[in-house]
Amino acid sequence: MFCNPPCGEARVRWVRRCAEAGASGLSVVLLIPAHTDTRIWHEAMATATSLLFIKGRVKFGVPRPNRRQVAASHPSALVGWNVDLHLADHLGTALRLPNPSPPASLDIPLEP
């Protein structure tokens, strides 16, 4: 499963649902801002099995008048559950996380 959640506070519910899907054994890849200072980032890292910091900014394929593409205003990362993101290490720096497998159930409420 691949997820690119909306920005803002709505992202919290999507990240938590991805963690739950990973805990149930599904393979999940989540594209999120690499905001390592946020609570939801740390919640994701507590259960994820792999991480990939994307080099540069994600581009949206929309050309500006100067012919450069519109890009995200923040760095991004792929967070994985039950997947090996080293397969995409051409996109950036991939890491295996010390969570050998997500817990069978998460005591994280879906509502923020």
Q: Mean pLDDT over all residues of the chain? A: 85
Read off the pLDDT band of 110 (50, 70, 90).
very low
**Half-sphere exposure (Cβ direction) of 6: Cα atoms closer than 13 Å:** 4
Three-state SS for 112? coil
| Amino acid 100: pLDDT | 57
pTM as predicted: 0.78
**Intra-chain end-to-end CA distance of the chain, in Å:** 23
